[in-house]
Structure 1
Amino acid sequence: MRINHNIPALNAHRILSRNNNSASETMERLSSGRRINRAKDDAAGMAISEKMKTQIRGLRKASQNTLDGISLIQTAEGAMNEVHSMLQRMRELAVQSANGTTTDDDREAIQSEIDQLTSEVNRIANGTEFNTRNLLRGNEGPNSNTTVHRMSTGEAATIVSPHQIKGDADLSSEDMTITIDGEERVIRLASIDGSSSEEEQKDKMVEVINDAIGDLGNAILTSSGNIEIRSTSVGGNSNIEIEGTKLALHGFGLMSEEDYNDSDLKAQPITARGKAEVDTGYAEGSILFDEIPEAGSTLTIGGTKIEFFDSSVEPYTGSYRPIDISDGDGNPRDLEEIIDIITGMDFAGIDSIERDRISTPVNFEVITPSDNTAGSEVEGVYSFELLSQPVAGETITIGGVEFTFTNDDSGVEIGADLDATIANLETAIGDEGTFTATDIGNPITITETTASGTDITVESTVGTYVDRIVFTATEEGFAGQSIFLEGTPKEFVANLQIGPNQGQGFRLSVGDIRAVQLNISSETPDGNTGVRGASYRQVKGVTDGLSEGMVEHSLNVSDEESATAAITVYNNAIIQVAQLRGELGAIQNRLEYTSANLDNTMENMTAALSRIEDADMALEMSEYTKMNVMMQAGTSMLAQANQQPQMVLQLLQG
């Protein structure tokens, strides 16, 4: 028997302490309801459960975000419903005004109601908000001032005038229409009267086309003075048709001088069709710059976002690829510099990035037809004008003889300017021998050395640069079409976070339904309604809906002809709003399914978390009962073990 170390007591104490700890842990699980209260309870389970909690809380918030998105759509769609009702009423009034039994006084009253309803359309569009964000007045953020054609193996319908447009022509009394993808638009030529300078009138000519076609396409003026019209749509169904009087087509460079002067020749429609999309070749897309991008605007190219900033105002602090629109000295950069910066960048999935160059046909004229009839043998005399400075590799073919422009003397050397290049071309023509240059300059006049008997043609691949960047995909076929190109959207855009993780968003867009966008009002009295015979009032009678000032001109229904044409304008507006409402309805249906899926996923994930983290109360209570009995037994045994040293005293007392 020992008294210095009571081994049975130590053993009983150890077991009692262990049971006490187990009982404490069991009580903790019973009181919290959780199987895992700290990492040591289940390290792996704790790590898994924390990730699950992250997902569950994210799913819960994503579901709320989705419901907020549905509420936003319902707000916008409800406002559009009222606009639809007003458009129907305005169409009804136009039908009434077009009736021959309606007097001028009646039409004046009708016009007054039209003005008020148009102002109310503006009020709804300008005043409809969701959480202080304006929904129906388009994108109010910084504008990149770009027109984007998506990546495609097909092509948009494109018309390039074969001749320069005439900046001094009076086309104010002429007629011209353009039809893009089946939608006919009237081009208003009243302002093209030859009274402005040539440069100003050329800009006006491009402007009236863009006013007419709206979002259906885009017209630009090349540096060589030709006009290019390109549809927004891409593919085999994309088409453009231009019809007009001979003078109008001639003025826009769509008819040659010779054809215009031929009194027997009637004006023919000018047509173009896009190229169908196929799963071969490499997809191409483009971004056309109308002017310098605004600071804060962005471009998206594939998975890369470019943000423009102005270093003369503040340094860049964002996280995208920045481009400074200032040259560092406080002066704005040239658009050409910005294009050069972008073309020098690398983007995933993009094989090549080049500034676009479109071919500009030469101005060709037959001065003296060639004739080798016996006894006559007349050499043909021709002239042609090269409209732009070539680049290396481009060619000009004169009567079957091809001349290639180069950067050295291996071909026609490109000079310091167009005049120098023309001089080198004239020398090359003379050296070749088929023709002689008899009139030095631009246009170039050439004469056959020997009569050929048939008139020649002159064809050229020489082009001119435009402010457009062309992107070519790395992958062939439809795979390359998946690369996303985007400038500044014209409509209101909200990105809904409808998932718990980064990148699980949904982009919601709502169209602009202000009266000007629906073509039922205009900021100027000579605005383009897009419908033949329809016009706007000369006097402003429409407000923005939020103030008393008159800012726009309403559709004119003050006479039978104008009222009849206005019916079609209101028809187009009704269809436009119906399309927007249809898109919102489809998105709302999608978001309702999204919300249901999020709730279902959250429920299932919560159940999985419960199986990992929650305690089985019945099992824990059984364990607690066992530990309670063990603690009582251990306490009793420890007490008895502590009594053993007392027996030594009995031995000592004898």
Structure 2
Amino acid sequence: MSLVINHNLMAMNAARNLGSIYSDLSTSTQRLSSGLRVNSAADDAAGLAIRELMRSDIRVLNQGIRNASDGISMIQTAEGAMGVIDEKLIRMKELAEQASTGTYTTAQREIMNSEYQAMAAEIDRIANATDFNGVKLLDGSMQYGHEGSGLKVHFGTGNESAEDYYFINIGDMRATEATGLRVGNSDDRDTLRTLTFNATSPADALSESASSTDGLFGIRYSTDFDNENPGNATWNVYGYVDIDASRDSIDDIVADINKGAQASGTITMTALSGGGSATDDISTQSLTVNGQVFSFATGSGVGTYNGGSGTGTVNLTTTSYSATSVAWDTAAFLNANSASIGVHAVADGATVHLFANEWGEEGNSINTVSASTAMSTGAATLENGGDKQMTASAYYDEVNEEYELQIQMNVGGETHQVQIFNLTTMNGTSDIVGGVISGTSMGGTWGGVLPTNDAPTSVLTDYGSADETDEWIQAQNGAGETNWAGADILTQTAAQEALSGVDAAINKKDTARAALGALQNRLENTITNLQIQAENLQAAESRISDVDVATEMTTFTKNNILAQAATAMLAQANSLPRLALQLLGG
């Protein structure tokens, strides 16, 4: 090699080797300091991809272990409460045995029954109060999850029922519910159960059952009912159920009613004239409902409605223009177009009562637009939407093997009653489910009679008549009875029947409790399996990702020595051009 000044090739070679060695030394330092063989995709592209998938599975498996542990905790909470329920049932059976012998008087059995009912009420309280993280465990609500399968405990990395989750379905452990244990009779809420609406499944459209006609029926309640003077009760309409049999099911009806009452309001009419002063001339009057403006005119039929512009004309079918006739004609028009306008209307004399079609909402605005005295409103908007005086449910009738509509008052006592009623007459006798209220406008008290020219038919008429004995069930409410063994122990016969009733309740509870125990064992085994799976997957991930410290330390030491040697050689190579100076200096 020639001796040159411009290019020190030996120094350049030493510098290149030093850079390469220094890069390797940096990689070894990073691996040893992080503990990872793969710190970036450049280290091992395929290994990085596999490692990240493994890491996600490991995290999911560990969360699945926690999910399964939570499931065990929930089961233990439910089973603990069921253990207390067991104590109450045993005491109830003991009381039933005591009352079943003839050596006690009726008065003494009443004392025993008082404790018996108190035990049933306590079982109800425990079942209603027991929850885990806000999830009710024993009130029967769990069985409605996932289309009747129950509560899902998920623990796998996928979504296959055979591998990744279990369902927990405890059932109804309440004592005095027909869907529960059926012992005791402490529930004093008035209950209406109608055979008229029934289906093999609560989710089936009503058109799939024996009766399938569209229509309308009303629900009302009283808070001052008197069994001795039922005609003096004050009734409040809760709302109107509009049935589309090809679409609606019992579940749909239940969901609507449980949103709360339909909002309501009133419009009071005075007489109008065919022409005259601005205060009562029909040509000057208009009514706004839900932002839609309607005028008045004479004519046949209910009038015309333009859904596109939200306008229409109410036809007044008589020339007398009395306040009552104006009210009836207005109600008929609103009902004929209720789906678009958003209200049902009920005429009672000169007053029109409006109900929002939607359940549980505040409703629609009611305004008189012109400065007149021909119409007055009770409020600017419909009020009291969402009040929850009652609860609806789909009741399973084991005898008939069908689901039926059940409506129950949320407040107990004989004065709180619930009824559903037909809408077949105007100014005449109206059929009330649970009894008949006779006279004009339902006994002189407003109860919700729609005009006969209302577009919807009465669904109860089409579905069949209602019978008080079969339909109106008043649990512990004076006239009612609970038709299961174990309702009370007031007589020797009832006490003897209660022995078998409590036995059935204990068997139902024990079956559910045993199922929970078996499921707890499965979850414990699942946790063990998930732990092993996570451990082995972690080991596989470690082999890909973690650094072998012994091997990497050997590499680090080698690279460290080479770096020192390269540094020394670079220093020597940098000094070699000085030889040229010696030649130049002669």
TM-score by length of 1: 0.41
TM-score of the pair, normalised by structure 2: 0.46
